[in-house]
Every structure is written in structure tokens, then in C-alpha cells.
Chain A
């Protein structure tokens, strides 16, 4: 069993407006075999948390630690973290011309293997065909340039395809459902569920309780203003759907400004 721990994490970014503190002490422990979900209003730091775990150099850790199997990974560059077992399905995946999807995925798989055990072309194609079929992706997507001109939904599906090909121990899925029609959401959920098992742990960030009907989490966390303010079982997502973040904030007696202090309901907060 692998373990990913986030301890008292404080994160800041430097932008035009100066130094901005976004995460204000996040604590989270995940093991392989578990599915965690994080929900929270726009701008509370969910993507910041995932990018910081992955090692995006834009985010600066001011305090706290991130540990993978007990070892701090804060000094590790993103590629090393990836090879050590972390995967982030990004909210906004980059487009890269000239590099085909297939070539990229093969390089990603081989980056985890030593020179004597590189995946053979035949083995790779077999696996790719299988995973693309699972995700209802047309064959030609493999030979298209990485995310180049992909629709929003195709990009999300492609993130899941990479997840299935790379098979990391830990995956963070940042709004993998946003912009997906209901059928596409089911397909993506099918992909994630195919990974489910004792060797795999995932952290799902979503605004929609609906996704969690298809991928049922073990734990749901609510994040507000840079902290996890409440954790619970799958029923917590349902409560939120009904009562909104304002209700939860007031229940917890938190002094947190929400972007819109009228009733913000997950699922309605985002266009």
C-alpha cells in the first residue's frame, strides 16, 4: 500500500497583484485503494492543491510538507514525482503540436522503465487499442497531435486515456467531468472505475455530486478558503448538493467570504 500525505500545506503564488496566499494549512492522507473527493466553491484552492502536489513550479510552498510513502517530495521536480507514482489529470491540459498522442504516451510509459525493459510497439498498441475502446475513442485520436484542436470533452477523455495507459498508484483528477455531456461523463467514470483496486488511489475534484454517483468515493472533503473544513462519507456530497456552501459555512461558523453570498449550490456555481 502506498501513502500520500499532505501536511499543514501553505501555498502562495506571486502574480501582478503581488504575493497571494492560497492554501492555508491543508491536511490530507490518502492510501492506494481509496477514492477521495474534494468539493468546494470556485477559487478556494482545489487546483492549487493538485498542482502543488504534482510539482507545478508556479506554486511556492510556504509551510508544511508533501510526503510520498513517508518521503518528502517537495524538492522533487514534476517529472520525478510523476515517475514516483503521481498523476494529475489537469483542468486545462496543454496542447502540443508535432507530438502525437501515441508517441507521447509511449514515451511516458518508457520513462518509468529502464532501457532493457522498454515497452514493445506491439504490446503498446495492444494496450492502447484496449484502453481507447474502453473510452469509446476513435482510433485516429492516437495519431493526432497531443490535445491539439481537441474539444473540451476530448481533452478530458484523453487525460483518462493517459491515466489508463500509465497506471500510476495515485491520480488527482481535477474537474475531469466539467464540460462533459452525460454520456461522456459515464465513459470517463467507467475509465476511472477500471483503475479502481488496491493498487490505485485517486483524489477527485469536482463541482458535481453527479460524478460521485458513478465513481462512489470513500471520503468526501470540503475545501473552503484554502483549507479542508469538513470530511465525511459520500453522503456529505449529497448534503452539499442540497444545502450549498453557504449553509455549510454557517453551520461550521466559519468566517469565509464566498464569491456569491447568495445560495451557491455545487453544480450551479459553474457555467
Chain B
């Protein structure tokens, strides 16, 4: 479908086309509401990224995803259900949360909600504790537009690790939307990692939105390692008193792609703590934009919001931006930020190569070192390793393509 998307969506047509996917008619009414909201909804904001002309819109009732390791399985005690086929009784406990954090207030979220064609509901009960991670391995299909929604609902005093890992199938283009809602209950701790490695043929809008209740902890690791054009919003609302979010992002941009990232934590409750650490590397002609958004709302007394955004460019033609955006509406708070956009210059590459390292190896060494500052801070070794492997793969792939073109 064309760039900029349709002018409007017809709720009746959406209901007719997508209603048959929904086991609970309530879902269809949600689609219709989103379709109705679409025409007047503004674009989501990604400062310094011109994504509007991208092919972000594409419909279709086919799921657009497969599960290379089989349907996702949950550890005993945790339930995981497909969203669309969930009957009303299954959906009921999720309804107070589902689509609440991702209401159709922007054009792309509205489009996503109207066109949902796959998704999961995960419920982690109160007092659940496990060191065994719940891993979702999802492959985005070539030529089939995926609109995938996930709700992770974690009760109180629970602890779980969830890895949301995406790869892409090579082939025809597709326009995908991946939207996730995370709810962390009181006194719970969630380690959430998303490793996004969509292929070059996939243009996507990614939005993950979390809320954390009192004394809850969200450790969030995001690997943004796609090959196509992506905008990704990773946002957390620290709602409850004493809640904490620690968000670590590593990103790698290669080829001609553009990856625009918003990483946001909003301190709402008192004594809340937000930490954002993002490191990104750009090769060749790629563009990577980090918008680190720290927002302390009025009333969030004793809040602490820190962020560090760093971008390293390995070529003259790379484009990078690291924008710390601090919005502070309360006095009794601590906030700090650091940002830098650096370049590995020709003299550094020459120095490394003068000891016999190939250009490719020299680059990988510099990149690994730079991203290592984030990778080594990731608490779970399994997630760390998965990221390291994915980074290495993307790098070698990116370098091979660059090599062929030179």
C-alpha cells in the first residue's frame, strides 16, 4: 500500500474483513473504534526521523508471523493464549488492561489495532517466581503484513524473565506493526528483553509500552538490530511509589537503513527511579537516532531520572543523533543526562589495521567494545549472549554486503 497510508479507515469495512478473526466480538468493536479514530489521529512523534513517507501501511488477515521453534510455551503456572482466538471468558481478566496503554491516539497505533492479525496474552500470577525465561521466538514473514499485539500481565510479588525475539524471513516486502503492553504488578520484578532482528524487506512500527506498580522493578533490555527501516518506541510509566525502570538499548544500523528510537521513562509516582542507557553503532550510509526521553511529572517527588545516549559512527556517510529530552515538572527530583555522537576516524582504523587486523575485524572490535558498555551491564547471561550473537551476525552480514558493493 502507498506511503503515508490511507486517508481514513472505514469501521464497517474493518469489521467485515477482520471481525471473522475475532473469537470475542469485543475485539471487533475495539478494531472499529481504532478505525474511527485513525483519520484524526496525529502521527506518533519521533524527533529527527522522517518516517512518514515509508511504507508503513499494509493490510491483510493472514497472521504475518510464524514460530520457528513451535508455538510459544510458558513455564508451569504462567498462561499464554493466542489473542484473536481467545473466547470472551479467557479475555475477560485481560480486558481491564488490553489496549489501555496503547489506545489509538496516534495514526500508527490506530492502524495497528484495526488490523491486528496475531498476538498473545500472557498472564503471570501473583507470587510466581521462576528463573526459567519465557522465550517467544517469532519470525516475521516476507510479503505478509504482520500486526502483532502482545499483552504481558504480571501480578503482584512475582518475578519472571521474558525474551521477545524477532527474526524476519527474507523475500518480498512487508509493512509490520509490533505493539506490546507490559504490566508489572506491585513488588514484582520483570526482566524483559526484546531482540529485534527484522530483515531488510520489513518496514515496521514498533511500540512497547510498560507500566510499573508500587515497588515494582522492570529491567528492560532492547536489542534493535533490524535491517530495514524502523521506528521503535520503548516507553515505561513508573506509576507506583518506589517503582524502578532500568532500560538498556543496543542498536546497530547498517546499509542504507534508518532506525529511529524513542526510549522514554515517565516518573509518575514518588521515589521512582529511571535509568536509560543506550549505545548505538552506525555503519555505511545508515541512520540511527536515539531520542532519550525522561519525563518527571508534577507530584513525582523524590524521582530520579538518568540517561546516557551514545552513538558511534564508523563511516563518513553515517548519520547519527543522540537527543536527550528532559521534561521536568517537579522540583524535588534528581535528573541527569549524557549524550555523545562520535566517529571512528580514518586514523583509528589505520592504526588498528597497521597491526594486521582486517578492516572488517577492526570495525567489529571497535563496535563490540563500544556496545560492550551496555552488554556487560545486562543482568542475564542468556540475554547477553543472544544479543552478542545477533550483533555479530548482523555485522558480518552488513559487512559482506558493503564489501560486495565496494
Contact = CB atoms under 8 A, between A and B. Distances in A.
A104 B365 contact: yes
B333 interface: no
Interface stretch (A93-101, A198-206, A214-222, A258-266): A93-101
Nearest to A145: B369
A97 B350 contact: no
Contacts, number: 76
A57 interface: yes
A97 B368 CA distance: 11
- Interface residue SS majority, chain B: helix
B351 A82 contact: no
B350 A78 contact: yes
B369 A82 contact: no
A87 B350 CA distance: 12
Nearest to B370: A98
Given A103-B365, A111-B361, A97 B370 contact: yes
Interface in B365-395: 365-366, 368-370, 372-373
B351 A108 contact: no
A162 interface: yes
A93 B356 contact: no
Contacts of B362: 79
Contact of A166 (B346, B355, B369): B355
Given A96-B348, A99-B366, A104-B365, A54 B354 contact: yes
Contacts of A79: 353-354, 356-359, 362
B116 to A, nearest CB: 42
B348 A108 contact: no
B350 A99 contact: no
A83 B356 CA distance: 5
B369 A99 contact: yes
B132 interface: no
Interface string A101-124: 001110110011000000000000
A78 B353 contact: yes
Contact of A82 (B355, B365, B372): B355
A52 B373 CA distance: 36
Interface residues of B, number: 23
Contacts of A145: 369
Contacts of B353: 77-79, 82
A98 B366 contact: yes
Contact of A104 (B346, B350, B355): B355
- Interface residue SS majority, chain A: mixed
A108 B361 CA distance: 10
Given A79-B359, A98-B372, A145-B369, A104 B354 contact: no
B348 A94 contact: yes
Contact of B350 (A57, A112, A166): A57
A83 B346 CA distance: 19
Contacts of B41: none
Contact of B369 (A77, A95, A100, A105): A100
B347 interface: yes
Contact of A98 (B357, B361, B373): B373
Contacts of A100: 369
A105 to B, nearest CB: 8
A170 to B, nearest CB: 13
B335 interface: no
Contacts of B372: 98
A56 B350 contact: yes
Nearest to A100: B369
B14 interface: no
B352 interface: yes
A100 B365 CA distance: 9
A54 B361 CA distance: 19
Interface of A: 54-57, 77-79, 82-83, 87-88, 90, 93-100, 103-105, 107-108, 111-112, 145, 162, 166
Given A90-B354, A98-B373, 13 more contacts: A79-B356, A79-B359, A94-B352, A96-B344, A96-B351, A96-B366, A96-B369, A97-B370, A98-B370, A99-B366, A100-B369, A104-B355, A107-B365
8 nearest CB pairs, A to B: A98-B369, A94-B351, A82-B356, A108-B355, A111-B356, A79-B353, A99-B369, A98-B370
Interface of B: 344, 346-348, 350-359, 361-362, 365-366, 368-370, 372-373
